[in-house]
């Protein structure tokens, strides 16, 4: 089962590279102002692109257009316009921040994403975690809205994070209207609050405006996850092989709930999940020296991982999962006993990895999961108890 699962995961992952992203109706405008209707590969970019793939017909050849030859393009709810602008490339990683409050500008060409279009237009730029907003009035070249986090020291000499919030003063000084008050510009440097402000300003000015980009949010789903598991266990002692015991394999049940957060990027293909699961293994056999060996293992397993969905259509997808699985054992022990001897060892587990391949259709799903060996006697130096498990899991989306 392990080899089959690995082969399937590799094949599906390879296919996603070429087939996952859809071509949707859109257009691009070249440097001469010529507009071309076409089909554009909708990547649902997180970072602003420098190029895009397109084709003229459904069966047509895939072609690429670069930023140098394209003044703007649009696909689905995304519209991008090319400008040469000053982009603050200051890092937002705390360990790499500097003590300079001034932006570290780099003048370059970029496809800025249009969020709100009107008398005052709001643009968005993101690159490797750097998020910047720009604005323009009446079709002029966009200007950066200044925001920067930087390092300062408090009165005791300890480092702290300070903020250059110059964008608030920019909005108040430039985008003036009778209904815009000082408190209206006291907003966070976030997509939603910026969009709301620019909509309010354009409404105040009485002109036409359009919210071009759909606001996307992470979506939380909860799944009920019952299933069947195949598990095997053997116990070894490095000093006394007389107690090396093979407990064989066992088929049992498992029940869990999965909380899945779908990320608002890449057309809902990626998600993170956590899946608390109750499971058990109980087996009695005979050790080589004739003692009865009783292994009882009950636990709450908590895989935390990522999910990738390869959509076959709007309702059906192939699911690929990888997780790091924590484990909390309870009422678990290994007992060796006969008429004379009695020895009890506590179960102390180690974490492991899990990989899954499944199919989901609307609210229903099924998954085959393989887990790497988990050590159940991790608290002992000379005892080793590798626990192997594979599962077939059913899934029902509660919401």
45: which 2 tokens?
A: 């970019």
Q: Is residue 244 scored above 90 in pLDDT?
A: no
Q: Is residue 197 scored above 50 in pLDDT?
A: yes
Residue with tokens 């989901």: 360
Task: Render pLDDT for 203-225 as a digit per residue (tens, 0 to 9).
Answer: 888 877 787 765 556 688 999 99
Mean pLDDT of the chain: 86
Summarize the confidence of residues 230-245 as an average pLDDT.
83
Alpha helices (H) along 24-113 = none
Decide which of 207 and 251 is more confident.
251
Residue with tokens 């779908």: 262
**47 - beta bridge partners?**
none
User: What whole-number distance in Å separates Cα of residue 207 and Cα of residue 107?
Assistant: 32
Report whether 397 contacts 221 (CB < 8 A).
Answer: yes
Q: Structural domain boundaries of the chain?
A: 77-211, 219-397
- Mean pLDDT is highest, among 15-24, 298-307, 378-387, for 298-307
- Taking alpha carbons only, the member of 363, 361, 317 closest to residue 15 is 317
- Residue 68: predicted pLDDT: 94
Report whether 149 contacts 156 (CB < 8 A).
Answer: no
pTM of the complete model = 0.62
Give the Cα-Cα-Cα angle 341, 240, 290 (nearest 5 degrees): 45
Q: Is residue 122 scored above 90 in pLDDT?
A: yes
Q: Is residue 162 scored above 50 in pLDDT?
A: yes
Summarize the confidence of residues 136-147 as an average pLDDT.
91
Report whether 29 contacts 16 (CB < 8 A).
Answer: no
- Residue 333: predicted pLDDT: 85
Summarize the confidence of residues 354-375 as an average pLDDT.
91
- Residue 18: predicted pLDDT: 44
- Residue 11: predicted pLDDT: 46
The CATH number for 219-397, chosen from 3.90.1150.10, 2.30.40.10, 3.65.10.10, 2.40.160.20, is 2.40.160.20
What is the DSSP code string of 287-338? -TTS-EEEEEEEEEEEEEEEEEEEESSSSEEEEEEEEEEEEEEEEEEEEEE-
Torsion of CA 222, 227, 230, 234, to 10 degrees: 60
Burial class (CB in 10 A: 0-12, 13-18, 19+), 182: exposed
Distant-in-sequence, close-in-space partners of 274: CB < 8 Å, separation ≥ 6:
258, 259, 302, 303, 304
């Amino acid at each position: 089962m392990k080899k089959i699962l690995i082969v399937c995961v590799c094949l599906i992952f390879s296919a996603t590279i070429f087939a996952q992203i859809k071509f949707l109706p859109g257009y691009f405008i070249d440097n001469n102002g010529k507009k071309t209707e076409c089909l554009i590969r909708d990547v649902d970019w997180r970072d602003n692109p420098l190029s895009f793939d397109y084709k003229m017909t459904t069966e047509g050849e895939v072609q690429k257009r670069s930023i140098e030859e394209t003044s703007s393009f649009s696909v689905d709810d995304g519209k991008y316009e090319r400008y040469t602008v000053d982009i603050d490339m200051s890092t937002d990683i705390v360990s790499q921040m500097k003590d300079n409050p001034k932006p570290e500008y780099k003048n370059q060409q970029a496809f800025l994403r249009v969020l709100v279009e009107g008398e005052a237009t709001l643009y968005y730029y993101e690159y490797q975690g750097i998020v910047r907003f720009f604005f323009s009035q009446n079709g002029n070249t966009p200007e950066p809205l200044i925001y920067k986090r930087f390092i300062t020291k408090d009165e005791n000499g300890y480092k702290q994070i300070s903020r250059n919030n110059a964008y608030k003063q920019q909005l108040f000084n430039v985008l003036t209207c009778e209904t815009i008050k000082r408190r209206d510009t006291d907003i966070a440097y976030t997509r939603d609050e910026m969009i709301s402000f620019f909509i309010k300003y354009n409404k105040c000015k009485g002109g036409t405006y359009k919210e071009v980009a759909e606001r996307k949010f992470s979506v939380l789903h909860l799944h009920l996850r019952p299933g069947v598991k195949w598990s095997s266990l053997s116990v070894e002692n490095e000093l006394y092989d007389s107690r090396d015991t093979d407990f064989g394999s066992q088929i049992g049940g498992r029940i869990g709930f999965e909380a899945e957060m779908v990320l608002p990027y890449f057309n809902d293909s990626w998600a993170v999940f956590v899946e608390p699961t109750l499971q058990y293994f109980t087996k009695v056999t005979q050790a080589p020296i004739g003692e009865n060996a009783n292994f009882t293992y009950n636990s709450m397993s908590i895989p935390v991982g990522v999910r990738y969905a390869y959509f076959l259509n709007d309702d059906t997808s192939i699911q690929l999962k990888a997780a790091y699985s924590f484990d909390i054992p309870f009422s678990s022990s290994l007992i060796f006993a006969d008429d004379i001897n009695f020895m009890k060892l506590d179960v102390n587990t180690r974490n492991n990895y899990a990989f899954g391949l499944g199919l989901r259709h609307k609210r229903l799903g099924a998954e085959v999961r393989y887990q790497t060996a988990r050590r159940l006697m991790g608290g002992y130096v000379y005892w080793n108890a590798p626990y192997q498990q594979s599962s077939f899991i059913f899934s029902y989306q509660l919401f």
